Amino acid sequence: MYLVKIDVKESTINGKGVFSVEPIKQGTVVWKFDFSHDKSLSPEDFENLSEEDRAKLLRVAYLSRQTNRWVYPPENDPALFTNHNPETNNMSVVWDKTISDEPVFVANRDIEAGEELTNNYLDFDSRPEDQREDWV
């Protein structure tokens, strides 16, 4: 769940993206897994989904390096539009069990208002290489 004010709009990276509404200071927790909001599935439950449902989740879910669960935002959540950018991502992954069992995304530098929020999926997603084909 995003903890800062954001907006979803067209992205130059891919489709739509998540953009900061206000400046975000370096070190600010930008997103964290919220058990009352975000969703997760065991690998077994993921495999029992229909092929169509698995394909949809592969586009928006990640396989957690920490819990080995498939984690994804609920329907209509802005996090669905967070884009992958391995070169210039502005959110770093922090593993801190005192905050969450899942990764926490922290601003790795000051982020300007209107800037797209991106992260490197490889920092937290442990899915097999052959399941990453739709990463831009």
| Domains parsed from the chain with CATH numbers | 6-124 (2.170.270.10)
Question: Which parts of the chain register pLDDT below 70?
Answer: 129-136
pLDDT the model gives residue 122? 84
82, 18 contact by CB (below 8 A): yes
CA distances to 3, 54, 73, 94 from 101, rounded to whole Å, are 17, 23, 15, 11
SS3 assignment, position 74: coil
pLDDT the model gives residue 130? 66
Measured between alpha carbons, how far is 10 from 125 in angstroms, rounded to an integer? 24
Task: Flag whether the pTM goes above 0.95.
Answer: no
pLDDT the model gives residue 136? 47
pLDDT the model gives residue 121? 85
Burial degree of 136 (CB within 10 A; 0-12, 13-18, 19+): exposed
Of 104, 131, 129, 105, give the one whose Cα is nearest residue 118.
105
